[in-house]
Amino acid sequence: MKMSFRWYGTGNDSVSLSDIKQIPGVEEIVWALHYKQPGEVWEVEEIQKVKDELDEYGFGMEVVESVNVHDDIKTAGPKRDLYIENYKETLRNLAKFGVKVVCYNFMPVFDWTRTDLFHPLPDGSTALYYEKDKIKQDPKEMAEYILKECKGYTMPGWEPERMAVLEELFEKYKDVDKETLWENLKYFLEALMPTCHETGIKMAIHPDDPPWDIFGLPRLLVDTESIDRFVSMVDDPYNCLTLCSGSLGSNPKNNVAEIVRKHADRIAFAHIRNVKHFPNGDFSEASHRDCDGDTGILDIIKAYHDAGFDGYIRPDHGRHIWGEKCRPGYGLYDRALGIMYILGAWDLLDKLSK
Ligand code: CS2
Ligand code: MN
């Protein structure tokens, strides 16, 4: 297993590379060119700049999260083939820098959705929170709320440029039902697989968050059955998963450890996050400690360990603790605690298995 940490880049993150360097065990920085719009080619000179920064601290850049997929690809719009060609070019450019895994998602319009970005918890920290009744019926209202609450940070999938054309975006999806979206995903992956083989890059899809339909938009990767469907639909070792325990774990019916056991060979990237459920269907993000949530974090870590998982792993979101001012879900302190928890469990499992 290779431990990694997501970093949004200089000037775009409250956390610095020198902070990350002091967390034990981190080898890789999970990065992206966050200013790029979906569909644009990532140029070699731009990637080189990130490499230079990471080299200074001895960090690898083998995992990108995310190269976002243009809506024309998701909706089979008029420019889909052009954007797929651009995606291939980006993969070729990334491969020149030793990138091995590209994380992406296939969620329509929005990325992850929460109703509260800084929800107070009983211990005095705050966390991302989802209150079923607070999901605004009007997505525009929801977008306004997220933009207001995100403390000036741009939230992936909620970029102001995208929110400004929300109606147009919804219009594009109006004839896209679940089956059509599956077909469009298949078309995209089948087109990319030869380039993945040529470059050695694994495409690793992130599940939908929350794992159910919202605002009448279909969501695909939500449970065991849909993950089974995804891996067999394009049965290729380069068609992989970013298995996010927090996204899938928001549905109490999902047993994430079981999914890990079943598909370990197709998981390229593991996101570890704990979620606490409430009886009415609300959920809160929690610390990584197993007993603080319902996701079964220790079981999940054991499933990866038993499988001899040698892919990349990162703590997913963290709470906001000790007064830290940071991007929602992406502070330093709680994610660093998460790493120590994961490594503690992992090291013990290593020791016991010797
Ligand atoms: C999120 C997402 O759970 C997560 O990791 O922070 O924004 C995630 O990065 C994207 O859905 C992946 O494309
Ligand atoms: Mn995740």
pLDDT of residue 305: 98
User: Which atom in ligand 1 lies closest to the alpha carbon of residue 105?
Assistant: 13
Token pair listed for 8: 């949004």
Would the pLDDT of 7 be above 90?
Answer: yes
- For residue 226, what pLDDT band results from cuts at 50, 70 and 90? very high
Place of tokens 């996010």: 244
Would the pLDDT of 145 be above 90?
Answer: no
Sign of the alpha-carbon torsion through 225, 229, 232, 238: negative
Q: Is 206 a catalytic residue?
A: yes
- Among the bound ligands, the one closest to the CA of 271: 2
Would the pLDDT of 147 be above 90?
Answer: no
Range in 101-105, 144-148, 179-183, 338-342 with the lowest mean pLDDT: 144-148
- For residue 132, what pLDDT band results from cuts at 50, 70 and 90? confident
Would the pLDDT of 160 be above 90?
Answer: no
Helix locations, the chain, DSSP H? 17-21, 44-55, 71-75, 80-95, 139-149, 160-163, 166-172, 178-199, 224-233, 245-249, 256-263, 297-306, 333-352
Q: Is 263 a catalytic residue?
A: no
pLDDT of residue 55: 98
Would the pLDDT of 192 be above 90?
Answer: yes
Q: Number of folded domains in the chain? A: 1
CATH number at residue 117: 3.20.20.150
- Among the bound ligands, the one closest to the CA of 159: 1
Residues 218-241: what's their mean pLDDT? 98
Q: Output the CA–CA distances (angstroms, integers) from residue 61 to 64, 98, 233, 255, 317, in the order listed.
A: 7, 7, 29, 31, 20
Q: Is 70 a catalytic residue?
A: no
As residues whose CB is below 5 A from the ion ligand 2, the structure lists 244, 271, 316
Supply the pTM of this predicted model: 0.97
For ligand 1, say whether the CB of 209 is within 6 Å of any of its atoms. Answer: yes
User: Which atom in ligand 1 lies closest to the alpha carbon of residue 242?
Assistant: 12
For ligand 1, say whether the CB of 65 is within 6 Å of any of its atoms. Answer: yes
352 forms beta bridges with none
Token pair listed for 304: 């990866």
Token pair listed for 111: 């990325």
Residues 84-103: what's their mean pLDDT? 98
Average pLDDT, the chain: 96
For ligand 1, say whether the CB of 334 is within 6 Å of any of its atoms. Answer: no
Would the pLDDT of 104 be above 90?
Answer: yes
Would the pLDDT of 136 be above 80?
Answer: no
Q: Which of 164, 195, 166, 172 is nearest to 84 (CA)?
A: 195
For ligand 1, say whether the CB of 104 is within 6 Å of any of its atoms. Answer: yes
Q: Are strands 116-120 and 312-315 parallel, antiparallel or unpaired?
A: unpaired
Q: Is 316 a catalytic residue?
A: yes
* Domain membership of residue 184 as a residue range: 2-353
pLDDT of residue 309: 98
pLDDT, tens only, 255-266: 999 999 999 999
pLDDT of residue 155: 80
pLDDT of residue 139: 85
